Each structure stands twice: as C-alpha cells, then as structure tokens.
C-alpha cells in the first residue's frame, strides 16, 4: 500500500521510472467545473493527454481504467483518454435521485434587474450546504436567514438555466492487449477481462435453472466462447449479469442494476472536508469489477481516500496519489483507521 502526497504527473513518472506496474486504474478526477470555487477543479488536468499517457504506461497490457466525470465535461476527458492510447470499452452511468438543481431563476433575476419585488409566497431556512454554492433558485441570498420565495412579476416565471443533475458518467477504457487473444493476455498478465460473476446483481432465486437454446447470438460477435456454445445454462442463483448502469435506489424496478446510496455523513466522517466524496460501496464494486485477484489499484486523484479503503476491503493492493496536503492527510487517516496494520508511505 503506497500513499503519495504530490503532483500526480510527477509521482506517476517516478513510479514508471521505478518499474512499477498496476492492474487497474480507478479514479475520480476533477470535473473541471470550478466546483465551489475550488482551484483544483479548474486546472484542465483531466483533459490533458499526458495525464492518461502516464496512467497508460503504468497499466499492464489489457488493464482497465475507470474514471468519473460530469455530464458537461465527460467528452473532453474521454477524448484525452482515447488519445493516450486507450480503447474506450463502455460508459457506465451512476444514477442518483438526490442531486440539487444549480439553476438561475430567470424571472427572479429580471425582477431584480427591473427593481421590482413580488409578494412573499413562502420561506425556507438556509442550511450550511447552501452557503457559498450559488446553487439554486435563490442563489443571490448570502445571509443565513430565510430564503424568500416571492411572486414573479414578469412573464418569465418558471424559466431557469439548468436541469437537475441525476447521473455521473464513468468512462470504461482498456489498455490494448499485448497477446494475440484475451485468454493469452489473462494467462500472462492477469488483465484483460472484467469480473462478471464477482459483480452480479442479486436476482430472483425462485426462478429455476434452465438451459437456453442459442439462436440469435450467432453472427453477432457477442464474444462469449467465440460463438461455439450451442446451449447456455442460465442459473439465476448467481444473480443478474452486471450492467453499465448503477443507481442509488430509485424504484423497485431498478433491482436488476447495482444499488448504492450516496455517501452518508457517517461514512464521510466528521473531519472529512472533501466536497465530492464517493460512496465506499460504489468504489468497492468498481475496484472488484476491473481488478484481478491480488491485483494493484491506482488512484491518481485520491481525494479523501475512498478508493483506497475500497481496494483494501476487496483484498487489493493500492497506490494513491493526492496533491492537496489537507486531503492527503484525511485520506491517510481514513485508510489507516480502516486498516491499522497497513504500511503507508509518503
């Protein structure tokens, strides 16, 4: 287990020079949105080809990379990853129901510009999470008083500037194989595949095991056994095949997809000041999906250490890099407290 407090470009180059190789990269880079005015979220590092070229060099052939982004900036990161030499294999969607709309109330803004004010319709208390985020319909309020919802005095009532966020895309990419086939690559390097059975979704165990006759699969390049399987045995007790959608508990109909609630205050911890903490259960699932047994996970944007805790819980080795000293110390403390016997190095 190796924790590094430094610039990820410099630290990855040192690892390359030392001959280090990793089995997977699971990371939550800056979304480059200037989130909450944080300087680290507006450097452009996630859009730089060089960033992902270094990760590419550290990965074993066939190793997978999973990187979060936002709906607005995903395309720029994905292109940089592809330009670095990776094959884009899929886009995973993490869906959630608790996102807050960061939309300007146009009608309210026009009333203010015109110097008019409608009657108060209702109020609500300002919470600590509202302060400084300029996050919603009453984003011009800065005091810790009540938000006042007033009647709009112009025809633009109900118009805004943004939708409610409800998903984060994750690019799923793979370093090209060095061998002639997936099987050969897995046997030589341990990488190239994804852990299907280890990430199956709990299904209806009342359904009986049955043999499904092959039919439409032929000629579709579906990849399973090079189309040589005539029949396929379906065993529901193993769970549903993992999909490229995950969610935080929207409806019962979503039971076929991986469920993970957003990070709770208890999981975050009292001293964790990082504003974008990912759920540990989610990071465990992702590490498990793309990392071979006893493999090493690299997180080049470690933040407060959720990926490191997840990797440890799944029995993987971990290399984490974090530039910000405050966040690094939080990550180090969280990972050490979750694994007291683990050796950590700066």
Tell me the pLDDT of the chain (346 aa) as tens digits: 899 999 999 999 999 999 999 999 999 999 888 666 677 677 889 999 999 999 999 999 999 999 999 999 999 999 999 999 999 999 999 988 776 778 888 998 999 999 998 888 888 776 655 544 444 434 444 455 677 788 889 898 889 998 888 899 999 999 999 999 999 999 999 999 999 999 998 865 555 555 555 554 444 444 444 444 445 565 667 788 899 988 877 665 667 778 777 766 666 666 655 555 788 899 999 999 999 999 999 999 999 899 999 999 999 999 999 999 999 999 999 898 875 444 443 3
Return d(Cα 282, Cα 224) in angstroms, integer: 27
In the block, which residue shows the tokens 């292109």?
79
Q: What is the pTM of this model?
A: 0.80
- For residues 309 and 3, the answer to whether their CB atoms sit within 8 Å is no
335: its two tokens: 């990972």
Residue 220: how many CA atoms within 13 Å on its side-chain side? 7
Where are the chain's structural domains?
2-91+175-197+264-338, 100-164, 204-238
CATH number of 2-91+175-197+264-338: 3.40.50.150
- For residues 194 and 243, the answer to whether their CB atoms sit within 8 Å is no
């Amino acid at each position: 287990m190796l924790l590094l407090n430094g610039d990820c470009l410099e630290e990855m180059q040192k690892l390359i020079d030392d001959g280090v190789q990793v089995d997977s990269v699971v990371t939550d880079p800056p979304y480059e949105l200037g989130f909450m005015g944080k300087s680290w979220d507006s450097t452009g590092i996630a859009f730089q080809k060089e960033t992902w070229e270094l990760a590419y060099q550290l990965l074993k052939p066939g190793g997978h990379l999973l990187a979060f982004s936002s709906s607005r900036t995903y395309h720029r990161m994905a292109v940089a990853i592809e330009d670095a030499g990776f094959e884009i294999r899929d886009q995973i969607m993490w869906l959630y129901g608790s996102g807050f709309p960061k939309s300007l109330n146009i009608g309210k803004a026009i009333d203010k510009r015109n110097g008019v004010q409608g009657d108060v319709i209702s109020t609500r208390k300002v919470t600590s999470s509202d302060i400084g985020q300029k996050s919603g319909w009453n984003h011009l309020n800065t005091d810790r008083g009540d938000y006042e919802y007033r009647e709009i005095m112009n025809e633009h009532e109900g118009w805004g500037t943004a939708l409610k966020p409800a998903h984060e895309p994750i690019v799923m990419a793979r370093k090209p194989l060095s061998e002639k086939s997936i099987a050969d690559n897995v046997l030589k390097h341990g990488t190239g595949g994804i852990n299907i059975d280890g990430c199956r979704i709990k299904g209806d165990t009342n359904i009986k095991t049955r043999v499904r006759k092959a039919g439409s699969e032929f000629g579709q390049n579906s990849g399973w056994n090079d189309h040589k399987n005539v029949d396929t045995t379906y065993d529901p007790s193993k769970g549903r095949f993992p999909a490229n959608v995950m969610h935080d508990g929207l409806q019962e109909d979503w039971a076929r997809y991986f469920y993970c609630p957003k990070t709770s205050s208890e999981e975050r911890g009292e001293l964790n000041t990082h504003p974008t903490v990912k759920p540990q259960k989610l990071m465990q699932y992702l590490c498990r999906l793309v990392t071979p047994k006893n493999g090493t996970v690299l997180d080049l944007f470690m933040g407060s250490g959720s990926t490191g805790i997840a990797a440890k819980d799944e029995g993987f080795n971990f290399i984490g890099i974090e530039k910000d000293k405050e966040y690094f110390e939080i990550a180090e403390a969280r990972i050490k407290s979750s694994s007291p016997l683990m050796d950590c190095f700066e």
